[in-house]
Amino acid sequence: MSMEQSITSQTIGMIKTIIFDWKRTLYDPDKRTLIKGSIELLGFLKSKRISMVLMGKGGKDMYQEVSRLGVKNYFNHVIFAEGTKDPKVFIPHISSTDPGKTVFIGDRTRSEPEIGKKLGAKTIWVKQGKFANEESEDSSLQPDHTVTSLTSCLQFLQKIKFESN
């Protein structure tokens, strides 16, 4: 396989579902604010009428933060759980016939992007904040695309095709 083909085969095609991480992807837990570019990104994706899932670590406090910051209605599902993220919780949101139409977006390459890859989904690593220098340990689980801000993430997604629900 030529270099060009191997890059092409890794790019993100049609998107039907996006699964967002919350902490340090859309939400700054230190300042308790949304990260710059969140609303623009969520608004753009909402206009594409795809399924949007927010999946994060936390409990009741995080559900309250999602409501307080006014982003609850962008999502079809908001799911918070304590502890390590169990890949099983993502499975209901990934098409069994076409898992590659689901995209995971997260700030920790060893968390959401790796789980997404294991489940056959596509992944975007938002390389920002505390875990920006934490590279994936497993070369087979590298993110499909890396951006350094939510603004760059929006610019990238503006070039992708969506399959509305």
Residues that bind Mg ion (CB under 5 A): 21, 23-24, 107
Q: Which amino acid is at 136?
A: S
Starting at the earlier edge strand, list the strands of the sheet with 145-147: 77-81, 51-57, 17-20, 102-106, 122-126, 145-147
Q: Among residues 91, 97, 9, 21, which one has the least CA distance to residue 55? A: 21
Closest separation in Å from C-beta 21 to Mg ion: 4
Least Å distance, CB 79 to Mg ion, is 14
Question: Of 134 and 163, which has the nearer Cβ to Mg ion?
Answer: 134
Q: Which is nearer to Mg ion, 115 or 157 (CB)?
A: 115
Name the residue nearer to Mg ion (CB basis): 56 or 74: 56
| Least Cβ distance, residue 26 to Mg ion (angstroms) | 9
Alpha-carbon gap, residue 24 to 28, rounded angstroms: 5
